Amino acid sequence: MTATEHPADVPRDGPELDGPELDRILSETWGDKPGLIGWLTTVDHKRVGKRYIFTAIGFLLLGGILALIMRLQLARPDSGLITADRYNQIFTMHGSTMMFLFAVPVMEAFGVYLVPLMVGTRAISFPRLNAFSYWLYLCGGIMLWVAFLRDVGPDIGWFAYTPLSGPEFSPGKRADFWAQLITFTEVAALAVAVEIVATILKQRAPGMRLDRIPLFVWGMLVTAFMVIFSMPAVTLASSFLLSDRLVGTQFYNATEGGSALLWQHLFWFFGHPEVYIIFLPGLGFVSAIVETFCKRPVFAYPIMVAALVTTGLLAFGLWVHHMFATGLPRLGYAFYTAASMSIALPSGVQIFCWIATMWDSRPRMEVPMWWVVGFIITFVIGGLTGVMVASVPLDLELHDTYFIVAHFHYTLIGGAVFPLLGAITYWFPKITGRMMGDRLGKVAFGFVFAGFHLTFMPMHFTGLLGMPRRVYTYPAGMGWSALNLTSTIGAFVMALGVVLFLANLVRSLGNGAIAGDNPWGAASLEWATTSPPRPYNFAHIPAVTSHTPLWEESLPVFSGLRVEHRELVLTTVVEALPDVRDPSPTPSIWPLLAALATTGLFIWSIFSPWALVWGAIPVGIALTLWFWPKSSPDTHQEPVIE
Amino acid sequence: MSMRQTFAGDLAVLPTHAFGTRSLTWWGVIAYMLIEGGGFALAAGAYFFLMSQETVWPPSSHPPDLLPGVLFTLIILLSEIPNTLLKKAAESEQRRRVLLLIVLLDLFGLALLVIRGFEFAHINVRWSDNAYGSIVWALLLLHTIHILTDWAESVVLTALMFTRHGTEPRRFVDVSEDALYWRFVWITWLPIFALLYLAPRFV
């Protein structure tokens, strides 16, 4: 069929409606109201995504400041800089902030911003849920930090083991704020996961079959499924903890038939996949960057996808390796050791595929590529120490020492934060329309990379020498002093690198070179539109014919979506054949109000179980008004040609 | 954007609503079921884990009385008959049938909530007595939250169907997916019923 066959019933994009006129109408349809109202009611995935990224980086800085305070305290033996009690709060806040308020949200935030652009659609699925999720996340973070600043910050470690976190050993409300932070962030994360799954499965541009999905998007799809399967575990665990503390249930009380190990099983059933939830999007960043700067598709695409999926599956089979020290049946030891070692295989496969991609090409060593190099070196070291501690005898020796601290910072910072900083540099021009400074970018990389290794490499040895985690000070003469001082110096070098990175970012916002649509010559669809993208993302929906669509001769497009209403196209799951035209929700204040009502419910329920009854009423009202259709029904009045 | 585009095809011919896997919200509902189903499965896992800590199950109390639980189970199974009819009526877009059946299902939900009250009264253990009591209360409460939220959502949808918005074809998609979710609610009840009422008697 051609674009002219349908009657001129309602305005649609196409050859007759194109260019500035189309832009004007679509901008009006998809844009927000100006000013504060628009800011509070927006459901644009790009605005919400930017907000998410900005907030998560804010929490990264807060968590980083806590890390520096800890390093100052540990720089010399018998330091009296901070008290033991405050130190307990600080390391708990550092871990909780980094895991729940920075790492997972920032990865999902990049998904929120990029996935709809990369799959070639006008909006994320369930955009109001997306806005709701952001507000809830923000409120949860504020709650935790206000509690901390008022000296009721949690002091039980980021994994809050019972019985320490239970009513007997943690009176007061500190542990409750931690448990409720979990509820906030998990509800937010689950909402985003659902949106990402639905967007990827149903809103891909026509022709983007499963085997043409960009690897970053595959990474986000696997990640979103992992969130869906793992986060209920920690939500359940923390709800049990809250009820033990508030209404006297006995889930974790050994004297009444409960079990502290129940906590550990539930927590790590979430906690281990959590690591890969942070790390798989990082792998996606690396694939995108390697492909662009080597100017060729990543080697062995099907194997890369299989490796991502395998990692996602295996991640659920090794949570018990966090519990080797609790005493397990021998079979358990053998099984979880084997499972823990086997997950190194899909990660190794991907490393080799990236190296194979670079091998025969001439990689352009721009700043994002440097972060990839930093990632490969650092992550391989972290992976190798991971294989080491998968072995039970060694794990029993190293458990709860600084060796573990070194190991997981190598995997998390090396595996996720380095790719993230590369990703920020790489997509900054798309998000802002300007390039980040090259020289300062390389200098910042150098400081962060050197500072990182100076901080964490010595911790392997501090750990081997027996220094336990989570001690607020240590006596002189243990042989740990010089190593600790080195780590502290390294931490400040790394912090300087982060400051330089941010300075570059801020400076580039105003002064960076104008980027244009596709400054790196990349292949995926987000580069097919303007930088920054218009509110409607694409003037016409692209038609995809390969998994590197922008490296093809041309990018054909589809016509025929309505332009005076928010409309997008749903496609079939496997083949991505065009299937349904679907309306997309308009801006609304109700997601914000629903999030505020939910916040009220969550915080109130720290203090009274009746919050679940009375607090649910405003939430119910807000949700009802959110979903109640506002405009007159009109889709059935349209003369649809079926 | 100013450069000449080639048009590969026209999307105007596509329909503006569809049922089942072709609907976007269907995928949202399925994802929600995965999340909630995962929660139920883990709570059931916790039940078995706590059971393995004890030599006698239930420790020092009687199992919940059978009558309210059995009655609840029979009625929720029975509700699938109008539920299937409702789903079919929605998918063939018969508004009058949908209105009749959705009201009937709201009444089923109300009856189930009342019986659920009796279940709580005949559970024969307090949540604070021991870990058995805690997990039994948790499972029953978790399922009750699903009955309650689905019922509230259905009532709102019922109200919506009686307004002018109810004539919009997309509302039938909502009704169909609401009926799908109700299936999830009663199917997840069956293993929970077995844990609460049968396991303490026969294991």
Task: Write the pLDDT tens digit of every residue in A451-474.
Answer: 999 999 999 999 999 999 999 999
Residues from chain A that touch B15, judged by Cβ atoms under 8 A, are 580-581, 640, 642
Higher pLDDT, A495 or B3: A495
Higher pLDDT, A634 or A128: A128
ipTM of the complex: 0.95
Which residue of A15, A19, A629 is in closest CB contact with B7?
A15
Query: What residues have CB less than 8 Å from A40, skipping those under 6 apart?
Result: A589, A592
Higher pLDDT, A596 or A328: A596
Strand partners, A541: A558
Nearest of A186, B147, A66 to residue A74 by alpha carbon: A66
A554 in B contact zone (CB under 8 Å): yes
Mean pLDDT, residues A605-625 taken together? 94
- Residue B49: closest C-alpha in chain A: A262
A604 in B contact zone (CB under 8 Å): no
pLDDT for position B134: 97
Mean pLDDT, residues A125-138 taken together? 98
Question: B129–A250: do the CB atoms touch at under 8 Å?
Answer: yes
pLDDT for position B4: 57
pLDDT for position A599: 97
Q: How far apart are CA A442 and CA B77, in angstroms?
A: 65
- Amino acid letter at A151? D
Distance of CA B18 to the CA centre of its chain: 22
Above 70 in pLDDT, residue A243?
yes
Which residue of A23, A126, A636 is in closest CB contact with B28?
A126
- Whether A490 contacts A447, CB under 8 Å: no
Tokens 């890390």 appear where? Answer: A67
Which tokens is A40 given? 């509070």
Residues from chain B that touch A617, judged by Cβ atoms under 8 A, are none
- Residue B130: closest C-alpha in chain A: A256
pLDDT for position A642: 35
Tokens 């941010």 appear where? Answer: A502
- Whether A590 contacts A44, CB under 8 Å: no
- Whether A458 contacts A71, CB under 8 Å: no
- Whether A587 contacts A33, CB under 8 Å: yes
- Whether A324 contacts A392, CB under 8 Å: yes
Above 90 in pLDDT, residue A2?
no
Task: Please report which residue ranges of A247-366 form alpha helices under DSSP H.
Answer: 260-294, 301-314, 330-342, 344-359
B12 in A contact zone (CB under 8 Å): yes
Above 60 in pLDDT, residue A6?
no
pLDDT for position A638: 52
Q: How far apart are CA A383 and CA A379, in angstroms?
A: 6
Above 90 in pLDDT, residue A584?
yes
Which tokens is B17 given? 């609503």
DSSP type of residue A297: P
pLDDT for position A200: 98
The shares of helix, strand and coil residues in chain B, as percent rounded to the nearest 5, are 75, 0, 25
pLDDT tens sequence across A351-365 = 999 999 999 899 999
- Amino acid letter at A201? L
B17 in A contact zone (CB under 8 Å): yes
Which residue of A231, A257, A628 is in closest CB contact with B132?
A257
Which tokens is A53 given? 């990224």
Residues from chain A that touch B9, judged by Cβ atoms under 8 A, are 1, 206, 543, 558-560, 578
B128 in A contact zone (CB under 8 Å): yes
B134 in A contact zone (CB under 8 Å): yes
- Minimal CA separation from B163 to chain A, in Å: 11
Which residue of A228, A261, A559 is in closest CB contact with B34?
A228
Above 80 in pLDDT, residue A163?
yes
Strand partners, A559: B10
- Residue B32: closest C-alpha in chain A: A194
Residues from chain A that touch B139, judged by Cβ atoms under 8 A, are none
Above 70 in pLDDT, residue A487?
yes
Q: How far apart are CA B34 and CA B37, in angstroms?
A: 5
**Residue A4 confidence class, pLDDT cut points 50, 70, 90:** very low
Above 80 in pLDDT, residue B164?
yes
Question: B169–A235: do the CB atoms touch at under 8 Å?
Answer: no
Which tokens is A121 given? 């659609």
Put the strands of the sheet holding B7-10 in their side by side order: A541-542, A557-559, B7-10
Half-sphere exposure of A134 (CA within 13 A, CB side): 31
- Residue A534: closest C-alpha in chain B: B1
Mean pLDDT, residues B104-128 taken together? 97
Query: What residues have CB less than 8 Å from B164, skipping those under 6 apart?
Result: A632, A633
Question: A635–B6: do the CB atoms touch at under 8 Å?
Answer: no
Which residue of B13, B35, B59 is in closest CB contact with A6?
B13
Measured in Å, how far apart are chain B's first and last C-alpha atoms? 69
Range scoring the smallest mean pLDDT among A45-49, A78-82, A225-229, A338-342: A338-342
A–B interface: beta-carbon pairs under 8 A: 215
B39 in A contact zone (CB under 8 Å): yes
Q: How far apart are CA A474 and CA A465, in angstroms?
A: 13
Q: How far apart are CA A272 and CA A277, in angstroms?
A: 9
Label residue A38 exposed, middle or buried (CB < 10 Å: 0-12, 13-18, 19+): middle
Residues from chain B that touch A624, judged by Cβ atoms under 8 A, are 156
B48 in A contact zone (CB under 8 Å): no
φ, ψ of residue A14 in degrees (nearest 5): 165, -170
Which residue of B2, B50, B165 is in closest CB contact with A19?
B2
Query: What residues have CB less than 8 Å from A18, skipping those under 6 apart?
Result: A539, A540, B5
pLDDT for position A636: 45
Label residue B155 exposed, middle or buried (CB < 10 Å: 0-12, 13-18, 19+): middle
**Residue A332 confidence class, pLDDT cut points 50, 70, 90:** confident
Question: B10–A530: do the CB atoms touch at under 8 Å?
Answer: no
Question: A579–B12: do the CB atoms touch at under 8 Å?
Answer: no
- Residue B151: closest C-alpha in chain A: A620
Range scoring the smallest mean pLDDT among A182-191, A316-325, A465-474, B169-178: A316-325
- Minimal CA separation from B59 to chain A, in Å: 9
Mean pLDDT, residues A518-534 taken together? 97
Label residue A476 exposed, middle or buried (CB < 10 Å: 0-12, 13-18, 19+): exposed
Residues from chain A that touch B95, judged by Cβ atoms under 8 A, are none
- Whether A94 contacts A70, CB under 8 Å: yes
Q: How far apart are CA A57 and CA A244, in angstroms?
A: 34
- Whether A228 contacts A194, CB under 8 Å: yes
Nearest of A4, A6, A25, A29 to residue A15 by alpha carbon: A4
Q: How far apart are CA B81 and CA B69, in angstroms?
A: 20
Mean pLDDT computed over every residue of chain B: 94
- Residue A199: closest C-alpha in chain B: B24
